[in-house]
Structure formats: structure tokens, C-alpha cells
Structure 1
Amino acid sequence: MRIVRTAVPLVLASGLLSGCAGLVQSDWPPCAAVGGVVGAGLGAIESASWAAGGLGIGALTGAAYCWVHGDADGDGVVNKEDKCPDTPRGTQVDERGCPLPVAAAPAPEPEPMPEAAAPVRVELDVKFDFDKAVVKEESKADIKAVADFMSEYPQTTTTVEGHTDSVGPDAYNQRLSERRANAVRDVMVNEYGVSADRVDAVGYGESRPVADNANAEGRAINRRVEAEVEAKQ
């Protein structure tokens, strides 16, 4: 009968103290109270005089059990193994109860710099007969293309450059190159409506050949008027 009387309270004590393990650190008074009741009960089994002593011992035991086996910050790691006991609730922790390192957010990739728009350009190359400064009809389509481009980009200007071959005196060729440049300018301004202040004309005589003046083919290439217009999109 003595064994039964002792075993029942011990089983009860074990169950109650195990329940205390689920309480947080601040709830140790209930654990102490539970331990005290159980301790008093165990003492009373022996005799009434042991009840008071059992109460005190049980209270201390319950409180200590709660402290050791409880989880004060609710992170899933019991107090005796928790190296970071004050972790805020909901924080992800490691096996020691300490917060897991937060992975740094990847740095945003720099936005690609927009590519600068390539400028658009139109070039003019008008050929002339020997010792002539008259614009041929078949060249006017090319001149018109330049005039249309300048109308599309009204901020543009151009310089029309006249050239000759090497036949004849330098001074004569200089004046001939200027007449050729002005002839092309007149077509742009008078026939295709380009404002006169947007087109300059200059002659370089025979000083800037692009082909060999020693043969007829090269001299025909050098008898020319050139112009270039560039605009930003």
C-alpha cells in the first residue's frame, strides 16, 4: 500500500512538471505553485509534519524545472540551451537560439545607359563638264534630296564646296570652282526652298583632288561640287 501511495503522487508530479516545460520564463510562479502542491502532497503521504517541508521543496523544484526546461522567448530552444534568451518572438533562430543571419538583398543591377542616337548624314557629289559651271539636270535629284533633308531637320546648315581638275591656270580654276559651288547653292535656294542663310558656298580650285589628274577619268571625278549635312535624331 505504501508503494501505491508514493507512486501516484510521483506520477502526478512528473506530469505536472512536464507541463511546466511549456510555460514561458515569466510563468515560473505557477510552476512553483504546482511544485509546492505536489511537494506538499508527497510530504503528507509520509506524515502531516512533512507536508510543510514538501511544500517548500516542491515549490523550488517546480520553479527550477520551469526555468531550465521552459522556453522563455518562444523560439523553440529551451532556456538551458538558449544562448540568446531575449530573441523577439517570430525570429528565425539556429540550434543555439540565436537569430539566423539575414541575407543581404542583392544590389540592384545598374540600368543600362541609353545609347546615344547616331547622327544622320546626307552627302552630295555633283559632277561638271570640262570648264563648265552649269548644273546638269540629272544631278538635280541628288540636290533635291539634300534640300528635303534640310527641310526635315530645320536646324541644319551646310557648306557647298566647288572643285576643278588641274587643267588651266590656278587662278582661273579657283574662280571656276567658286562658280560651280554657287550654281549648286542657287538650285538649293531658288528651286528647292532652302533658306539662303543656311547654305554657304566656297571654292577650292584644283587644290583638293580626289583622283589622278593625269588621265581623263581622274579629271572627270575631280570636276565636282561636294556638300554634307549632318543632323542629330
Structure 2
Amino acid sequence: MSLTSLDPRVTRLNLPEEMPTIEPKPELDQFETYEAFHQKKEGAAHTYVGPVHAPNEDVAFLFAKEQYSRRFPCVGLWIVRTENVMVTPYSGDGENVYDMMRVEEPAERSAQAEAYEIFHLKKRGKAHTHAGRVMATSYQEALQEARTQFGDKGPIVNVWVVKSKHVLQSAEEDKDMWTTIPEKKYREAIAYKVMDKITKYKEEHKTTAP
């Protein structure tokens, strides 16, 4: 028996009433998601610019460079696999999420501390910005250390915590990859010299109305 529906297009498909079992998608059927952080100028904090889908970190870095640094100044790029980002709950604008969280005081350290990167969201609709680095033995301890060191810089709507070892960073010697030719500013259309040629052509072929 075929499946009947109020939608005649479905009926015309002659689908069986008993639908076959759908096998789960194979592993890595889709690319992984990575988060990209962009540094606009020397000394500036890295700011979140968006996600990319890629098969590995190196390709994610390439995709992020092409997608997020083509039109605007950029001197550095960080890439993090999405699954490696620990996210806190959100607070309302004007509130400080650190004040609303119950973070237990870290117990005596039994493991060796490692570096964590802390990113703050100051207002909903804006982007997470790198606040600094802390040393801790876990994400929760890193969050507590972040509250101690950066928690008074509120309001802070949301916090991202990432182990430093999970951050793929552009190297100092790679900064020339963003260097553009002197004749134009990055890739803004207005900076191309073709406009000068168009203007010159219009002047040369300008006709006087009768």
C-alpha cells in the first residue's frame, strides 16, 4: 500500500506506508565546525568573527583567512575546534555573568596547571573578545581564576573558556600573508585603481548635450 497524504505531491511519490529504517550517517559525513578569532592590529585583542566548516585545523585556518580577513585589516588569526569551547550561561545586558554563577573554589591542586584562554562577551549581539590567559587544572578552575582576574571588568554577558593548547595561532613569521599591495587598501572595491580609469574614460568620451 502507498502512503496517501493531503498533499497530492506526496501521494504521487508512491511512498510505502511502512517506511524503511534509515541508517545513521557515517562518521565525518559533515565537516567539523571551527571558531575563528581575528586580530585587527598589533596589540589588539583577538575578537570572534565567526565559524568555518573544515576537515582539519589547517584547512579551517585557510578558510577563515579567506572568509574573514579579505576585506579588513588583519595581523593575526586564531582557530579553535567548536567542541573545545566551554560556554557559560548567558546573563542579561548590563549584568555580570560571574556574579550569577556558583563557581566552587578550586580544591588543592593534584594535577599540573595548564594555560586557558578567556573570552568575554560584553553585550548581546556583539562578539566575544579575548580577555586574557589563566593557569588552571580544569575548565571550572579556569573560570574561577578568570572571575578573580577579569570578573570586575563587567558587565560580562557570557564567557568562553578554551585550553591554550587547543588554539591554532598564526605565527609571527606568517604575518606577511596579510600584506597587500601598496596601490590599494585591502580588498575594498573603492580602493581599486579601476575607478580612476573609468573616470578618465568618462571625461574623454563626455558629449555636450544639444
TM over 0.5: same fold? no
Q: Normalization by structure 1: what TM-score?
A: 0.22
Q: Which structure has the higher relative contact order (CA within 8 Å, separation 6+)?
A: 2
Which structure dedicates a bigger proportion of its chain to helix? 1
More strand by share: 2
TM-score (norm 2): 0.24
